[in-house]
Amino acid sequence: MALELENKIAIITGAGGGIGSATARRFAQEGASLILVDRDEGPLRAIADEIGGDARALDLRDETAIDALVDSVVADHGRIDVVVNIAGVFVGSEGRVEDSTRKTWDLTLDVNLRASTHLTARALPHLAASGSGAVVMTSSTQARAADEAWASYGVAKAGVEALTRYVATQYGPQGVRCNCVAPGVTATPRALERFPEDRATAVRNNTPLRRFGRPEELADAYLFLASARSSFITGQVLPVDGGMLVHLPS
Ligand SMILES: NC(=O)c1ccc[n+]([C@@H]2O[C@H](COP(=O)([O-])OP(=O)(O)OC[C@H]3O[C@@H](n4cnc5c(N)ncnc54)[C@H](O)[C@@H]3O)[C@@H](O)[C@H]2O)c1
């Protein structure tokens, strides 16, 4: 059977993290040539050693570093077919709106929204030249449903969903598709830190499938939206959340 991403040059950010590393593994199985990006060099090196791929350690808040990344990927690999923006931050200590600081808003917006915007913008001419360019963004259930805290995160992720529609609208005529995965609670080490057992139980009880997602299940959604399997889908947000947001409280 043909591989879904054979000969595709794909950049994945957050590749050292839970969902990012699972997605990198899945893309590698499907034949992609990967450029793996993360700020944390240790986990980045570990996934690159495991699956192969071109590891680039950088802080995505640095726009100059993003410019240099795109230039060097094109110089080294000849083109860019896919960009998957998974890197993200969540400031657990943020609190309610009145307690949220400028520092928290800046960090959350810079990593979750501005970095995705800038990397996508710089890659767009190359994605248009690819003939099958695809961008996949990452939002969250918190973009659509508010929580007791973490407004900056929800606002940043809602911005990512809007950005998805803008990129799809403006670059669809050049053959570039842009979609977004909206994970629900996914069992990555960093997410599990935020869910003490009482909160975890409450979330599971409010999820129709009664469990957290697995990073591999998210990886399949990124693969679908990056590959020709979704060739007539653009501007969409795909929730991968066990149905968390489809029902009334009960
Ligand atoms: N796990 C969940 O429950 C969940 C739910 C909803 C949305 N999400 C989103 O999914 C994505 C991945 O989540 P995860 O659980 O795998 O988190 P994670 O913390 O394991 O992975 C995020 C990665 O992004 C990297 N990163 C953070 N800031 C960076 C920066 N400035 N420059 C470069 N890299 C940076 C981190 O080093 C980390 O490897 C995030 O965007 C997150 O907001 C996760």
The phi and psi torsions of 13 (rounded to 5 degrees) equal: -95, 155
Alpha-carbon distance of 131 to 17, in angstroms, equals 30
Q: Which CATH class is domain 9-186+215-236?
A: alpha beta
Interval between CA 142 and ligand 1 midpoint (Å): 14
Can you give the pLDDT at residue 47? Answer: 98
Ligand 1, closest atom to CA 40? Answer: 37
Can you give the pLDDT at residue 228? Answer: 98
Can you give the pLDDT at residue 250? Answer: 73
| Ligand 1 first shell, C-beta below 6 A | 14, 16-20, 38-40, 43, 59-61, 86-90, 111, 138, 140, 183, 185-186, 188, 190-191
Q: Which residue has the tokens 């080490």?
A: 189
Interval between CA 114 and ligand 1 midpoint (Å): 14
Which protein residue's CA is at the shortest distance from atom 18 of ligand 1? Answer: 17
Residues 6+ apart with CB under 8 A from 202: none
Ligand 1, closest atom to CA 153? Answer: 43
From 190, 212, 238, give the residue whose CB has the most ligand 1 atoms within 8 Å, as the site to mutate: 190
Indicate the domain borders of the chain. Answer: 9-186+215-236
Residues 6+ apart with CB under 8 A from 173: none
Can you give the pLDDT at residue 194? Answer: 87
pLDDT digit string (tens) for the chain, length 250 residues: 789 999 999 999 999 999 999 999 999 999 999 999 999 999 999 999 999 999 999 999 999 999 999 999 999 999 999 999 999 999 999 999 999 999 999 999 999 999 999 999 999 999 999 999 999 999 999 999 999 999 999 999 999 999 999 999 999 999 999 999 999 999 999 999 988 899 999 999 999 999 999 999 999 999 999 999 999 999 999 999 999 999 997 7
